[in-house]
Amino acid sequence: MSAYIDQFPAEAKVIRSAFYTSFIALALGAAFGLIQTLHRTDIVRVIPSEMYYTVLTAHGVLLVVTFTIFFLVAIFTWAVTTSLDRGVEDIRFTWSWYVLMSLGTLFAAVAILAGFTDRTEMSADVLFTFYAPLQAHPIFYIGLVLFVIGTWLAGADWFRSWWAWKQENPDERIPLPTFMVLTTMIMWYLATLGVATSIIVFLIPWSLGLIDTVNPTLTRTLFWFWGHPVVYFWLMPAYMMWYVMLPKFSGGRLFSDPLARVVFVLFLLLSTPVGIHHQYLDPGIAEGFKFIAMTNTMFLLLPSLLTAFTVVASMEHGARQRGGEGYFGWLGALPWRDPVFAGMALAGLMFAAGGFSGMINAGMNINYLVHNSLWVPGHFHLTVGTAVALTFMAVSYHFIPQVTGRRLASKQIALFQVVLWFIGMTFMSNAMHRGGLLGMPRRTAEPEYDFPFETAIGTVGELNAQIALGGVLLTLSTVLFVANMLITALNDPADDLPSNTIPEPLSGSEDAPLVLDNLKLWTAIAVVLVIFAYSLPLGSIVERGGLFGPGGDAFPMFIEFVEGTVFGLTGDSVSSLVNSPLEWLRAMR
Amino acid sequence: MNIHSYEKVWLIAAMLLIVGFIATITYGSVALGITMVDDSEETIDPNALEEHERFGDLGVHQTDSDEYDVHVRAYQFNFEPGSSALGTHDPIVIPQGSEVTFYVTSPDVIHSFSLVGTNVNTMVVPGEISTMTAEFDEAREYGVVCNEYCGSGHHGMEGLVKVVPEDEFHLFSVADVDAPESIEAGEETELTATIDNDALQTEAATVTLEIGDEQFDTDVEVDAEASAEATFTVDTSDLDLEDADDLDWTVTVEADSPATLEDGSTSGTIDLETDEDDEEADDEDDEADDEDDDPNDDDESTGDDE
Ligand code: HEM
Ligand SMILES: [Cu+2]
Ligand SMILES: [Cu+2]
Task: Using the 3D structure, point to which of B150, B166, B182 is the last residue of a domain.
Answer: B166
Please name which of A269, A280, A260 lies closest in space to residue A229, comparing C-alpha atoms.
Answer: A269
3-class DSSP state for residue B254?
Answer: coil
Are B136 and B183 found together in one domain?
no
Are B124 and B242 found together in one domain?
no
Cα gap B172→A383, rounded to integer Å? 53
Are B58 and B116 found together in one domain?
yes
Instruction: Tell me, rounded to whole angstroms, the distance of Cα B165 from its chain centroid.
Output: 16
Q: Are B85 and A511 in contact (CB < 8 Å)?
A: no
Q: Are A53 and B150 in contact (CB < 8 Å)?
A: no
Are B210 and B264 found together in one domain?
yes
Q: Residue B306: is its pLDDT beyond 70?
A: no
Q: Residue B227: is its pLDDT beyond 70?
A: yes
Give residue A17's pLDDT.
95
Give residue A124's pLDDT.
84
The contacts found for B216-220 with CB under 8 angstroms, 24 or more apart, are B220/B195
Please state, for a pLDDT cut of 70, what percent of chain B lies above it: 87
Residue A330 backbone phi and psi in degrees, to 5: -60, -25
Are B180 and B157 found together in one domain?
no
- Residues of A designated as active site: 228, 232, 379-381, 442-443
pLDDT band of residue B64 (cuts 50, 70, 90) is very high
Q: Which domain holds residue B242?
A: 172-305
CB atoms within 10 A of CB B63: 12
- The per-residue pLDDT for range A414-439, each reduced to its tens digit, is 999 999 999 999 999 999 999 998 88
pLDDT band of residue B301 (cuts 50, 70, 90) is very low
Q: Are B172 and B196 in contact (CB under 8 A)?
A: yes
CA nearest B109 in A: which residue?
A133
pLDDT band of residue B295 (cuts 50, 70, 90) is very low
Q: Which ipTM score applies to this complex?
A: 0.85
CA nearest B123 in A: which residue?
A282
Which member of A217, A281, A545 has the closest CB to residue B122?
A281
Cα gap A184→A68, rounded to integer Å? 14
Q: Residue B291: is its pLDDT beyond 70?
A: no
Mean pLDDT of B99-116: 94
Give residue A564's pLDDT.
31
Per the domain annotation, does B258 fall within a domain?
yes
- The per-residue pLDDT for range B198-218, each reduced to its tens digit, is 999 999 999 999 988 889 999
Atom index in ligand 1 nearest the CA of residue A67 equals 30
Q: Residue B30: is its pLDDT beyond 80?
A: no
Q: Are A290 and B33 in contact (CB under 8 A)?
A: no
Per the domain annotation, does B116 fall within a domain?
yes
Which member of B39, B112, B146 has the closest CB to residue A284?
B39
Give residue A323's pLDDT.
83
Q: Are B181 and B287 in contact (CB under 8 A)?
A: yes
Pocket-forming residues, ligand 1, beta carbon under 6 Å: A 30, 33-34, 36-37, 40, 56, 59-60, 63-64, 67-68, 127-128, 377, 381, 384-385, 389, 442-444, 471, 474-475, 478
Protein residue with least CA distance to atom 36, ligand 1? A60
Please state, for a pLDDT cut of 70, what percent of chain A lies above it: 92
Task: Using the 3D structure, point to which of B166, B182, B212 is the last residue of a domain.
Answer: B166
Give residue A455's pLDDT.
61
- Among all bound ligands, the one having the nearest atom to the CA of B155 is 3
Give this prediction's pTM. 0.88
Which member of B6, B17, B123 has the closest CB to residue A281?
B123
3-class DSSP state for residue B94?
Answer: strand
Architecture of domain A4-552: Up-down Bundle (1.20)
CB atoms within 10 A of CB A309: 21
Per the domain annotation, does B70 fall within a domain?
yes
Task: Select the more confidently predicted residue: B303 or B138.
Answer: B138
Give me the residue spans of the domains in chain A. 4-552, 553-589
- The per-residue pLDDT for range B143-193, each reduced to its tens digit, is 999 999 999 889 989 999 999 999 999 999 999 999 988 888 778 889 999
Cα distances (angstroms) measured from residue A113 to each of A2, A46, A204, A481, B153: 43, 16, 19, 24, 19
How many domains is chain B partitioned into structurally? 3
Are B22 and B85 found together in one domain?
no
Are B204 and B252 found together in one domain?
yes
Per the domain annotation, does B278 fall within a domain?
yes
Are B200 and B237 found together in one domain?
yes
Give residue A585's pLDDT.
52
Give residue B33's pLDDT.
67
Query: How does the average pLDDT of chain B come out, rounded?
Result: 84
Cα gap A255→A505, rounded to integer Å? 6
| Probe residue for ligand 1, chosen from A28, A37, A59 as the CB with the greatest number of ligand atoms within 8 Å | A59
Protein residue with least CA distance to atom 18, ligand 1? A377
Are B56 and B24 found together in one domain?
no
Cα distances (angstroms) measured from residue A484 to each of A62, A336, A413, A421, B115: 21, 19, 8, 15, 46
Give residue A333's pLDDT.
86
Task: Using the 3D structure, point to which of B166, B192, B208 is the last residue of a domain.
Answer: B166
Q: Are B43 and B128 in contact (CB under 8 A)?
A: yes
Q: Which parts of chain B are beta strand (E)?
A: 59-64, 67-75, 78-80, 92-95, 98-105, 111-115, 121-124, 130-136, 141-145, 158-164, 172-178, 182-184, 188-197, 203-211, 214-222, 226-235, 246-253, 265-273
Atom index in ligand 1 nearest the CA of residue A30 equals 1
Torsion of CA A277, A283, A287, A290, to 10 degrees: -10
pLDDT band of residue B220 (cuts 50, 70, 90) is very high
Q: What averages of pLDDT result for each successive group of 10 residues across chain A (589 residues)?
A: 88 96 96 95 88 94 96 97 94 96 94 81 86 91 96 97 95 93 97 94 91 92 94 95 90 85 94 90 87 88 88 85 83 90 94 87 83 93 96 96 93 96 96 89 84 68 92 97 95 87 81 88 94 88 84 63 32 43 51
Give residue A573's pLDDT.
44
B156 CB within 8 Å of a chain A CB: yes
CA distance A417 to chain B (A): 33
Q: Are A341 and A420 in contact (CB under 8 A)?
A: no
Q: Are B48 and A340 in contact (CB under 8 A)?
A: no
Are B73 and B128 found together in one domain?
yes
Are B200 and B231 found together in one domain?
yes
